[in-house]
Amino acid sequence: MASVDALRLTQDLLRFNTINPPGAEEPCARHLGAILESAGFRVTYHRLAADRANLVATIGGQDDVAPIVFTGHIDVVPLGAAVWSRDPFAGETDAGRLYGRGSSDMKSGVAAFVAAAVELAPHLARSPGVSIVITAGEETGCLGAFQLVATPGALGRAGAIVVAEPTGNFPYVGHKGAFWLNAITRGVTAHGSMPEKGVNAVYKAARAVTCLEHFHFRTEPHPLMGQGTLNVGTFSGGLNINSVPDRAVIGIDMRTVPTQTHAGIRDALAAELGADVDLETLLDVESVYTEPENEWVQSVFDVMHPHLGARPDAKTATYFTDAAALKPAYGHPPTIILGPGEPQMAHQTDEYCIAERVTESTAAFVEIMRRWCRA
């Protein structure tokens, strides 16, 4: 098969409208699957919903060494209310930047590892191998990754994982978890002119919000990630102004670190908020972390040294990725988050990636694959 140009492939992927919701990732996944299949990969698709699919592609494989996995998602977030100055689905370039929704988060990362895999494919048949996992539905809670985890035999094995989320080509050794809860208060409705006949759920919720504002985690901070965080992101209650509200809901977004457990956090919150508040889980993805001293992590640092101009020091991301689902399912292999996108451009109007970084990451991914596969 002819080589794949990662920049051109990024442009191709941007032209698929995969805004989630609704997603509609399957045509994009099948475009990538055709490229990988032509290069000799064994390709399978796993339906998430109508017009939505995950892709798993593998090549090589040995019993004694598990393959290296490269993973990324192809759904993107909505455009937002602000007007874009460029067509978000055209893949326009200007002054070394490639514009489009998903250019940084994270179609450039997917294009880079697919291009790298195609380049190295002729040398991988008798190697430990490479697995490509491309997911749908990441932006709404890693739905595609969790579907793969729940599908017997879909994933196979992994000796190491590279998640090509936007890092500006800096290798991160982990990321925070996400624990999202609804805190629900209930009351008794009554006419607004006779509030004494009812029980106001909003007043209960207001007291709970004040409690949450002053809530402190009692766990030790993580050496790299620091302490977990808590933010009240939404608040709603009541149906009309002239009734006593009998229900209110507080949306709580917590980003967690490896020194915490989500079960422990929930217990602490329940004790702090008291019997007037019920907790409902919306999203539960644990943090991801690999010790920087890990031999493979150090090898990745070696690969990235010339691209970054200095040897990387250990850092972690604040956002979460599909690794939260995939790393435990694969048996907790060492995991790096590393991709060409610009972290600050994720979800932004006029999102772009830097073309030079895409080329650099493709070369880096080839070397990371080559070292793992001894190809």
Burial label, 149 (beta-carbon count in 10 A; 0-12, 13-18, 19+): middle
> 32 with 134: CB under 8 angstroms?
yes
Q: How far is Cα 304 from Cα 86, in angstroms, rounded to an integer?
A: 32
Confirm whether 75 is a catalytic residue: yes
* Choice among 75, 119, 139, 165 that is catalytic: 75
Confirm whether 291 is a catalytic residue: no
* Choice among 25, 26, 138, 342 that is catalytic: 138
Active centre residues (catalytic): 75, 138
